[in-house]
């Protein structure tokens, strides 16, 4: 569990208990079977929204085809009941199993795609299944009525019992979401949503976490679908695999609040009764107008609250009222990762490393070494191949040739998160933070990435914050930090994984002179404490102060290496930076 999770869990748990008891109490007094049906549908759609929220809200993997899992749940329950006379009490768990299997089958090829391509291919699955079911002749499946033991077949004459079952399912779904949100699972997903590459560089196995998210999501969606079939009594491919079904969880979650356990609940609690009452009130006067009004209402509210109601309300009115998180505990003993002692040889030995993009040799036959406890400055004009070099070193790009040995071990050919786990931390030119999460959570991602268990991860994150001098800000939301603090936060995130080599990409970019000096002090201290650092930087005065040695790249090749003083006087370097004319004028 994450830092402060127990407080959050207790608070959310109390709200959940209160809301569900209140809801059931209200539903107990509703005798009108139609209103009761609405009360049953609200939790079902909320559960479906919650399942979508895990993959697409926390994980940022937008799915327009969640009806696949919902429909699979519904059809499993229906077909099992029709052909095997299997009660939905067992049919729903069976459907959940099918949902998990479907998630693996769907996720395996689809996670190769990212962004819009992922979203669009997810859309294809329910449509394909829809036609498949039509082809197989399952257009209209009616759930047979059991007059003898209705309750054993999840058939109730008293509609309120459906509401009870749906509410219990919702409670289970929300508990699952609360667990996700408050564990490393949720944090890993948030990190992936922010920047999949940065998450991998922090040691997170993005593919594995995404797959876990899809499976969890598929299981929950299938449960919602299974229960929906029991309430609907007639299942058609369109009613459980249709486009509108896929849209429903997206709409309720975007409306209520993405990446919050309460978002889908708020969305469903408002939209489902709204749609139904429009059907009931307007639909009888002007048939069809209810859809127009419903659409307009969604547009207006999304315009007014683009992050969803939950976040808008929280940000606008409850900022002061949010209970402050407890200050971080006194730093526990920090478990340090032990690495084999490297003294005799360089920590990183790069030999003949090359990487081309078509005809362009971005990195060409690059060789250099970094000694332990050294700060190596990698400089060069724009387009010299500095960032590409880092990308090849930490596994984002594959090398065409060459080798890179970290303490004698080959780094090349490994995945990004595996390189991270070898003890290589990396920061990026553009900072990726989770603005709504406290600073500590932003940093603890790096510790989780390194595979530390919960308590050790928090201790490591706190230690890292201490190293960059920001421990006192641990509970502040990242969205309120300054640019310098964000840079240091990213440095802390890399440090939390307890690396032995840091690859820093333009950590000083966009900082003022004074801010720059502060960051330099932090880096110098890190070196004194035994850290080895390779840093890409443009600010020459800063590099002169900081680096022990320079590697100068130009057009992908090493132009010069050596002590800073020698390198900046090297004619080839001056030429690369300032041009031949400048050099000629100097000589004149």
Partner 1 sequence: MTNRISIGRRDALGLGLATGAASLAPRRLRAQEKEVKIAMLVPLSGPWARQGILEQMGARMAIDDVNNAGGIKALGGARLRLIEYDTGDSAEKAKDAAQRMIAQEPDLVGGFGCWLSTFTLAATEVTERAQLPWLTLSYSDLITGRGYKYIFQSSPTADSQAEELLPNVVELAEKATGKRPTKVAFIGDNSAAPVSFMKAIREHVLANTKLTSVADEVYTPPLADSTTMVQRIRAGRPDFVVFQSTNVPDDKLLVDKFAEMGLSGAKLPKVGGGGHWCVPELLKVAGAENLEGVLVGLANWPGKAVEDVSKRFVERTKEPWFGHDSVFAYAHVMILKEAVERAGAAERQKVAAGIRQLDMKNEGPALFFPDGTLKYDEKGRRVGAKLCIVQWQSGRPVPVHPESIAASKVSWPKVS
Contacts of 236 (CB under 8 A, 6+ apart): 139, 140, 141
Q: Which residues pair with 142 in a beta bridge?
A: 234
Least distance (Å) between residue 134 CB and partner 1: 5
Least distance (Å) between residue 144 CB and partner 1: 7
Say if residue 21 is exposed, middle or buried (CB neighbours under 10 Å; 0-12, 13-18, 19+): exposed
Gap between the Cα atoms of 313 and 340, Å rounded? 52
Residue 552: phi and psi, rounded to 5, are -105, 125
Judged by beta carbon, residue 238 or residue 307, the one nearer partner 1 is 238
∠ CA 176-178-183, rounded to 5°: 100
Least distance (Å) between residue 158 CB and partner 1: 11
Judged by beta carbon, residue 39 or residue 495, the one nearer partner 1 is 39
Judged by beta carbon, residue 28 or residue 345, the one nearer partner 1 is 28
Judged by beta carbon, residue 183 or residue 239, the one nearer partner 1 is 239
Gap between the Cα atoms of 450 and 434, Å rounded? 19
Least distance (Å) between residue 119 CB and partner 1: 24
Per-residue tokens: 162:
């459906």
Interface residues with partner 1 (CB under 8 A) are 32-35, 37, 131, 134-135, 137, 139-140, 142-145, 157, 232-234, 236, 238-239, 242, 244, 276, 279-280, 283-284, 287-288, 291
Least distance (Å) between residue 232 CB and partner 1: 6
Gap between the Cα atoms of 502 and 177, Å rounded? 35
Judged by beta carbon, residue 270 or residue 544, the one nearer partner 1 is 270
Q: Which residues pair with 253 in a beta bridge?
A: none
Contacts of 314 (CB under 8 A, 6+ apart): 322
Q: At what angle are helices 243-256 and 33-52 packed, to 10 degrees? A: 80
Judged by beta carbon, residue 290 or residue 427, the one nearer partner 1 is 290
Least distance (Å) between residue 124 CB and partner 1: 15
Chain centre distance of CA 132: 33
Least distance (Å) between residue 88 CB and partner 1: 15
Least distance (Å) between residue 394 CB and partner 1: 49
∠ CA 58-61-66, rounded to 5°: 100
Least distance (Å) between residue 217 CB and partner 1: 22
Judged by beta carbon, residue 280 or residue 574, the one nearer partner 1 is 280
Least distance (Å) between residue 502 CB and partner 1: 56
3-state secondary structure 231-295: HHCEECHHHHHCHHHHHHHHHHHHHHCCCCCHHHHHHHHHHHHHHHHHHHHCCCCCCCHHHHHHH
Judged by beta carbon, residue 37 or residue 302, the one nearer partner 1 is 37
Judged by beta carbon, residue 143 or residue 473, the one nearer partner 1 is 143
How big is the chain by its Cα radius of gyration, in Å? 28
Judged by beta carbon, residue 72 or residue 202, the one nearer partner 1 is 72
Contacts of 492 (CB under 8 A, 6+ apart): 443, 446, 461, 464, 465, 467, 468, 470
Least distance (Å) between residue 121 CB and partner 1: 20
**Contact (CB, 8 A) for 534 and 528:** no
User: Which of 102, 115, 124, 109 shows the shortest CA–CA distance to 215?
Assistant: 102
**Contact (CB, 8 A) for 470 and 500:** no
Judged by beta carbon, residue 231 or residue 420, the one nearer partner 1 is 231
Judged by beta carbon, residue 287 or residue 435, the one nearer partner 1 is 287
Per-residue tokens: 352:
């003949």
Judged by beta carbon, residue 70 or residue 311, the one nearer partner 1 is 70
Least distance (Å) between residue 269 CB and partner 1: 17
**Contact (CB, 8 A) for 215 and 103:** yes
Exposed e or buried b for every residue in 214-250, given b needs 16+ CB within 10 A?
bbbbbbbbbbbbbbbbbbbeebbbbbbbbeebbebbb
Judged by beta carbon, residue 81 or residue 392, the one nearer partner 1 is 81
DSSP state, residue 173: H
Judged by beta carbon, residue 215 or residue 224, the one nearer partner 1 is 224
Per-residue tokens: 563:
């002590």
Q: The dihedral of CA 296, 299, 303, 306: what is its sign? A: positive
Least distance (Å) between residue 74 CB and partner 1: 11
∠ CA 208-214-220, rounded to 5°: 140
Gap between the Cα atoms of 307 and 357, Å rounded? 39
Least distance (Å) between residue 283 CB and partner 1: 5
Least distance (Å) between residue 202 CB and partner 1: 44
Gap between the Cα atoms of 424 and 500, Å rounded? 6
């Amino acid at each position: 569990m994450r830092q402060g999770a127990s407080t959050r869990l207790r608070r959310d748990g109390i709200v959940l208990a209160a809301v569900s008891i209140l809801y059931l109490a209200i539903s107990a007094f509703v005798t009108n079977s139609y209103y009761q049906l609405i009360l049953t549908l609200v939790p079902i759609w909320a559960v479906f929204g919650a399942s979508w929220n895990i993959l697409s809200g926390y994980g940022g993997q937008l799915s327009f085809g969640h009806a696949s899992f919902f429909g699979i749940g519904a059809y499993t329950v229906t077909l099992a009941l029709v052909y095997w006379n299997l009660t939905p009490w067992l049919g729903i768990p069976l459907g959940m199993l099918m949902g998990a299997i479907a998630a693996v089958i769907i996720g395996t090829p689809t996670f190769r795609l990212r962004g819009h391509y992922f979203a669009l291919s997810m859309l294809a699955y329910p449509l394909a299944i829809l036609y498949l079911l039509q082809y197989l002749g399952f257009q209209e499946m009616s759930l047979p009525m059991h007059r003898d033991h209705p309750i054993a077949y999840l058939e109730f004459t008293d509609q309120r019992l459906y509401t009870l079952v749906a509410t219990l399912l919702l409670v289970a779904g929300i508990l699952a979401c609360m667990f996700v949100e408050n564990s490393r699972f949720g944090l890993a997903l948030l990190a992936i949503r922010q920047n999949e590459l940065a998450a991998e560089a922090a040691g997170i196995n993005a593919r594995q976490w995404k797959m876990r998210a899809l499976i969890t999501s598929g299981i929950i969606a299938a449960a919602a679908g299974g229960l929906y079939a029991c309430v609907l009594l007639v299942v058609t491919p369109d009613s459980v695999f249709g486009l509108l079904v896929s849209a429903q969880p997206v709409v309720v979650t975007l409306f209520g609040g993405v990446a919050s356990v309460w978002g889908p609940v708020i969305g469903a609690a408002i939209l489902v009764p709204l749609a139904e009452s429009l059907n009931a009130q307007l639909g009888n006067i002007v048939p069809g107008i209810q859809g127009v009004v419903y659409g307009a209402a969604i547009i207006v509210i999304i315009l007014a609250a683009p992050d969803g109601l939950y976040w808008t309300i929280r940000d606008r009115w409850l900022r002061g009222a949010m209970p402050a998180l407890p200050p971080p505990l006194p730093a526990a003993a920090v478990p340090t990762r032990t690495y084999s002692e490297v003294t005799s040889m360089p920590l990183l030995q790069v030999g003949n490393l090359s990487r081309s993009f078509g005809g362009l040799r971005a990195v060409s036959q690059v060789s250099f070494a970094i000694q332990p406890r050294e700060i190596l400055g990698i400089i060069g004009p724009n387009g010299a191949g500095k960032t590409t070099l880092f990308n090849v070193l930490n596994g984002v790009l594959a090398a065409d040739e060459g080798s890179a040995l970290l303490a004698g071990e080959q780094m090349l050919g490994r995945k990004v998160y595996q390189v991270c786990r070898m003890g290589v931390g990396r920061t990026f030119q553009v900072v990726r933070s989770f603005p709504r999460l406290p600073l500590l959570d932003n940093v603890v991602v790096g510790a989780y990435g390194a595979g530390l268990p919960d308590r050790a991860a928090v201790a490591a994150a706190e230690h890292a914050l201490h190293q960059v001098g920001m421990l006192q800000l641990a509970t502040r939301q990242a969205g309120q930090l300054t640019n310098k603090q964000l840079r240091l936060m990213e440095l802390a995130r890399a440090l939390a994984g307890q690396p032995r080599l840091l690859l820093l990409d333009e950590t000083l970019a966009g900082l003022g002179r004074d801010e720059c000096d502060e960051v330099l002090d932090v880096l110098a201290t890190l070196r004194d404490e035994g850290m080895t650092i390779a840093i890409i930087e443009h600010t020459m005065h800063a590099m002169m102060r900081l680096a022990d040695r320079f590697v100068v790249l130009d057009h992908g090749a090493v132009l010069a290496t050596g002590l800073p003083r020698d390198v900046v006087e090297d004619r080839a370097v001056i030429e690369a930076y300032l041009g031949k004319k400048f050099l000629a004028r100097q000589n004149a």
